[in-house]
Structure formats: structure tokens, C-alpha cells
Amino acid sequence: MKSFCAWDDETLVLNILSTPSAKLNAIGKPKGNQLKVSVTTAPVAGRATDHMVKFLAEVFGVSAKDIEVVFARMNINKQLRIKSPKMLPAVISKHLSQDMKMFNKPNL
């Protein structure tokens, strides 16, 4: 994937650069082909990833079970698949709207 996000049918695929043990849970700016996501949980036994999935589930308006960690559960470089997101954060919506003709997906 050349971008930090792309559609695969109704599933949003995200490349994530995660920052555990942060002061706030937050979605940051893109960095190359990854989106920065910070979470407050320490990186112990995958807990930071679990916390990130719960945080992103709220942001995207889905349940945690609708988010699949494709790879790197215990690494800062991750890929996630979000099934049928109900909402999109501004940074993702803006990026996808620039490529809307190529992806042929409606704005959420």
C-alpha cells in the first residue's frame, strides 16, 4: 500500500505508526505511508494494541470486533482493517477525498 489508508471494498485499511505510553489517545498526522496514532497504555503484552483498537473503534463508530490487526500486534508498525466504518477522522476523510475518483467511494 503506497498510502497510509485505502479502501478494500467496504473495509478501510490503515497503516499505523503507533506511540504507546503517550499523554493522550490521539490520531496524528500522516508520516510517509503511515498514520500516527498515540495511546496512553504501556506496550506490555499487546495491551497498547488492544487499547488502540478500542480507541479507534469509538473514533470510527464501529465495535472493536470490526477492527482486525493484520500484522504487528506487538510492534509500533501495524496494519489494521476496519470493517464498514461509520465515521472517518478528518485526516483520513481529507486524504480519501483527494483520491475519491480513483477509489470511487462515497464520503462518509
Task: Give me the mean pLDDT over the 31-41 stretch.
Answer: 97
pTM as predicted: 0.87
Helix H segments across 1-108? 47-60, 90-98, 100-103
CATH 3.30.1200.10 holds for 5-103: yes
- What mean pLDDT, rounded, does the chain reach? 91
Q: Is the pLDDT of residue 106 over 80?
A: no
pLDDT digits (tens, 9 = 90+) for 77-94: 999 999 999 999 999 998
Q: What is the mean pLDDT of the segment spanning 23-43?
A: 96
Please check the confidence at residue 101 and state whether its pLDDT lies above 80. no
**19, 31 Cβ separation under 8 angstroms:** no
CA atoms of 22 and 36, how far apart (whole Å)? 12
